[in-house]
């Protein structure tokens, strides 16, 4: 059975990203980039002070934050 959880008002994706980075937990994400794709890995850095905030994974993959619809089984309410 599939279970879907949405994040509460007090818990944002940013808090989840920071937690994954600090604890060195793999981030499994579902992205909406003209179709749904998956991305997974350890978060190397989080860039917020740029026009399009993004995450950089240890593999070098850059993920624009606004494309993320779910992380580690937690979905955005809009998804």
CATH of the domain at 29: 2.30.30
Q: What is the average pLDDT score of the chain?
A: 86
Query: What is residue 9's predicted lDDT score, i.e. its pLDDT?
Result: 36
Parent domain of 39: 5-75
Q: If you count DSSP H runs as helices and E runs as strands, how many of each does the chain have, helices first?
A: 1, 8
Q: pLDDT band for position 77 (50/70/90)? A: confident
Query: What's the pTM?
Result: 0.80
pLDDT at 73: 87
Res 79: pLDDT:
61
Q: Quote the number of domains for the chain.
A: 1
pLDDT at 22: 95
Distance (Å, whole) CA 1 – CA 57: 30
Q: For residue range 38-56, list pLDDT tens digits in order.
A: 999 999 999 999 999 999 9
Rounded CA separation 37/20 (Å): 20
């Amino acid at each position: 059975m599939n279970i879907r959880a949405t994040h509460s008002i007090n818990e944002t994706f940013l808090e989840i990203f920071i937690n994954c980075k600090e604890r060195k937990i793999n981030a499994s994400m579902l992205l909406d980039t003209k179709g749904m794709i998956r991305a997974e890995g350890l978060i190397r850095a989080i860039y917020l002070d740029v026009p399009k905030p993004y995450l950089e994974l240890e593999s070098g993959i850059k993920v624009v934050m606004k494309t993320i619809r779910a992380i580690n089984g937690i979905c955005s309410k809009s998804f």
